[in-house]
Structure 1
Amino acid sequence: MDEVFSTHRLDRRTIVWTNVTRHPTAQWIARQITGTFPWDEAPRYLIRDRDGVFGAVVTRRLRAMGMRDKPIAPAPPWQNAFAERLIRSIRRECVDHLIVFGERHLRRILRCYAHYYNEVRTHRSLNKDAPISRAVQRIGNIKSHAVLGGLHHHYVRI
């Protein structure tokens, strides 16, 4: 079974980074954190679960980047509600409806879903806008673009 690492910003619900591995290690997690945030644009805090894979290597990397590590309490999913909601959305809207053919395929699916989630999918908490805001198209013919092989659609005016 593949493990998924994802980070997202809470202010606009933006998925920042996703990656997949079969065998996560502290070194792999530290590389993901470095890939997620440029050193000069790292957030002040990183809220995370208490998975055993987070080790001293990850803590040192966070400190070196100027971030404070905020692990949630053991076993209360309500403390990490945004992450739990994102995981449910990915499962319900994406991977529960697709057959995954390995790590590379899952990585490609998640990258495509993150693009859809950030730029197309509307969110009620954002007044029915996408995390990456877009202009309202008022004139033109409506055209449908299939996303994730037709699992979702993006409607645009041409």
Structure 2
Amino acid sequence: MSGLALHTDLSALGRLQARMTRLTRAERRPLLENAGAVLESSARRRIQSDKRGPDDLPWRDWSPAYAETRHSGQSLLSAEGGLLDSLRAEVRGEEVEVGSNLVYAAVHQFGGAEVGMPIPARPYLGVSPADKTEILSVVDDWADALLGDLK
């Protein structure tokens, strides 16, 4: 019979256990703050320049009648800058929330049909594939910083 015997070095398991303990006991607020900053930055970029949702689908343009009421320098979701200025990432316990406290922010995110307004959804909040990649990098950096001296 052929086979493979694996002998475990107990000191390696001890190091692994120490790393796992450090990760589970670590203060996660800095990690959540950094992840929130990634998502807040993405939402700001969507409003300022991308004009696309986290799914990379472009937002619908203004209706021709509404477009006639807009002034130079105004664009989708950016008239006076109120929505952009209101975006915040907030850590609450073991979660981070990114959003706005403005009443009309939800109408722009989800559309106005539910409240009787003819405004299409223009999602600016959410997690895109690029956001996921960047957040994973933030998590890696956080874990590396915690575990750097346990090699």
TM-score by length of structure 1 reads 0.22
Higher strand share: 1
Question: What TM-score results when the alignment is normalised by the length of structure 2?
Answer: 0.22
Structure showing greater radius of gyration is 2
